[in-house]
Structure 1
Amino acid sequence: MIASTGFGNIYQQRLFFHDLVCLIGRHHGVTGPQLSLEEFCTLEHVQVRDGSRSQEMYESFLAEQGIKRNIVLQISHYMSMPAIIERSDLIAVLPRSVAHIYEKHAAVRVIEPRVGIPVYSLKHHWHARNQKDPRHVWLRKVVVGIFAEA
């Protein structure tokens, strides 16, 4: 991964790609590996309102497609998500990496939505004044290494 500029004095480097999936309880009536658009729109959703840019972009994408979810519960973080999902018929849209962690530790499963959810790049950014600073270079290498291992 090579750093590039694109914002004047700001450098950026992609750390990984980020995509979203649905999470449902293992007991849920949906049995297939994928949700139809009709199921996606009619099932009751938990929405995470954590202020993240990917959630904002996702909601904009749905609006552009004319897709409206049946949101019945809003929460401010992902930490309570597995407990809510495994004890209800609600579904949630969340990052694949988080969903797979929950799938290992709770009675939930990942399901692919038929809604063409875009893939997002997660990047880190820094100012040009730090581009050659040895401590900053070291830290960026550590961060990139952590995400490369994942």
Structure 2
Amino acid sequence: MDELQRIDVNQLVTLHALLTEKHVTRAAVRLHKSQPAVSHTLGQLRTYFGDPLLVRHGGRMALTARAQALVQPLEDALTSLNDLLSASDFEPARTRRRFRISMSDYAAHIVLPPLVRHVRRHAPGLDLAISQASREAMLAQLQDGELDLALGIFPHLPDDIEIQDLYREEFVCLADKAVLPAKGGLSFEEWLERPHISLTLRPDANDEIEKALAARGLRRHLAVTLPHWSAAADLLPGTDLLLTIASRAVGPMRRYKTLRKFTPPLELPRPAYQQAWHIRRAGDPAHRWLRRAVVTCSQPSGPNAATTGAGA
């Protein structure tokens, strides 16, 4: 306890910002403090730890070995302290927080509308900032603290990222009725010969469909590659294109009067759609509430069946 009397929590928060940003000015912006104030605290911290903590290397600031060793213990300590201070009085209806969530427009169509309704009903002071990124970028942003939550499919995870399955998806095919047989769908050979629409954030990315074909030594002709799930089906009328898409993204077929839905003529995985977060957020009561809300709103009934209130 004597050591704690020599350093206060504000200094530890500043140290965390300095170790994260590796830059005095950026740490000051992060903390909403002046640069001289952060520089002064850095001087105090250097004296306390008997180490420069940040040193210039190759034109950039880098952590010393002592500073590097402090990163995880400091992260754990501040997270535990935050949980301790917030756990006793957490009430969704009184929460004033802003959560940064990354998702594709697929999730923005499926999960976000019921989630927003749920949040507005139970925690109207909770703000949601939505962004979109690739899987790799989302995981990096979770690790860097730039995101609080990410929705997607994450087959490969760093050790410090936790996930929860929300539901399992299955694929369906869509095409203009005019370019399909009078009944049914297509054989695998016919399907493979057709030009396809591919949904991916990066034109060179391999999704679950490409991986299933690659396992058989095959490729399909990707005539159009785009990241916009909501626009994909609108490209089909009047063309010979095929679209293989997650079933929940399609919705009722009555809105696609000139299209037909059929089962893909090849075995495809049923991937689990997931939410992911950094372990530093795991014990945060507000974050736990948000994760439960996402689970509730990912079900077909959405928030209509939601009972998540103050005790959730």
Deviations 1:95-128 (A, max 9, x none): 1111235x23122221111211111011111222
Q: Distance in 1 between matches of 2:197 and 2:160?
A: 39
RCO (CA 8 Å, sep 6+): is it higher in 1 or 2?
1
Where does structure 1 lack aligned partners over 5 or more consecutive residues?
1-5
How far the C-alpha of 1:21 sits from its partner, in A, is 1.7
Equivalents in 1 of 2:159, 2:195: separation in Å?
Answer: 44
Query: Which residue does 1:78 correspond to in 2?
Result: 229
Greater helix content: 2
Q: 1:105 aligns with which of 255, 268, 277?
A: 255
Q: State yes or no: 1:46 paired with 2:183.
A: no
**1:22 and 2:160 are equivalent in the alignment:** no
Residue 95 (1) aligns with residue 246 (2): yes
Give the distance between the partners of 1:55 and 1:47, measured in 2 at CA.
10
CA distance in 2, matches of 1:8, 1:72: 37
TM-aligned CA distance change 1:58 to 1:29, over 3 Å: closer
Q: Identity over the aligned pairs, expressed in percent?
A: 23
1:122 partner amino acid: Y
CA distance in 2, matches of 1:59, 1:124: 23
- TM-score, normalised via structure 2 length: 0.41
1:141 alignment partner in structure 2: 292
Count of residue pairs the alignment pairs up: 143
Root mean square deviation, CA, Å: 2.5
Q: CA 1:40–1:136 in 2, change beyond 3 Å: closer, same or farther?
A: same
Structure showing greater radius of gyration is 2
Give me the TM-score of the superposition, normalised by structure 1: 0.79
More strand by share: 1
Query: Would you say the 8 A contact 1:100–1:110 is kept in 2?
Result: no
Residue 67 of structure 1: SS of its match in structure 2?
A: coil
1:38 Cα shift?
A: 0.9
Q: Following the alignment from structure 2 to structure 1, what is the Cα–Cα distance between the partners of residues 220 and 284?
A: 47
In 1, distance between residues paired with 2:278 and 2:211? 29
